[in-house]
């Protein structure tokens, strides 16, 4: 099975990892934070603002790979501050309100200045 690297200018990137990789009909989206790609700055200081932006960034990456949020089968949310769980859920539920994918939430390991959340996704497409 071949691998296809997925990238877009509509989401934050780094030379250290691929934004996503497609293997067959599965797309693996790397951990994505709440940085606005237009400004290069965090979308805000609240967990809700950063969660919304991280989800928009994931959506842009999925779109670049020919997929949508409706194709997402699993999400991992990494929180810098676990006590922000309720605020993250508030923003998360705006996107995945019905038929949400499988999900795990854990503590973000490294302390990254200003970063409150990182979101990873796996999507399955028919193509």
| Interatomic CA distance for residues 115 and 47, integer angstroms | 9
Number of domains in the chain: 1
Of 2, 1, 4, nearest to 67 (Cα)? 4
| Interatomic CA distance for residues 101 and 21, integer angstroms | 19
CATH code where residue 26 lies: 3.30.1330.40
Place of tokens 């949310």: 77
What tokens appear for 36 in the block?
């606005």
CB neighbours (10 Å) of residue 112?
11
User: Model-level pTM?
Assistant: 0.95
Q: Which residues pair with 22 in a beta bridge?
A: 4, 27
Domain of residue 89: give its range: 3-124
Q: In this predicted model, what pLDDT tens digit does every residue of 32-77 receive, in sequence order?
A: 999 999 999 999 999 999 999 999 999 999 999 999 999 999 999 9
């Amino acid at each position: 099975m071949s691998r296809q690297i997925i990238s877009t200018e509509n989401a934050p990137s780094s030379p250290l990892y691929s934004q996503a990789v497609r293997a067959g009909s599965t797309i693996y989206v790397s951990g994505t934070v709440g940085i606005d790609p237009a400004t290069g700055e965090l979308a805000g200081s609240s967990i809700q603002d950063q969660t919304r932006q991280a989800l928009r960034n994931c959506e842009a990456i999925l779109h670049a790979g020919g997929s949508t949020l409706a194709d997402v089968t699993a999400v991992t949310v990494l929180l810098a501050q676990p006590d922000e769980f309720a605020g993250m859920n508030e923003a998360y539920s705006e996107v995945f309100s019905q038929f949400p994918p499988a999900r795990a939430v854990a503590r973000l390991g490294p302390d990254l200045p200003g970063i409150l959340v990182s979101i990873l996704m796996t999507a399955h497409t028919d193509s």
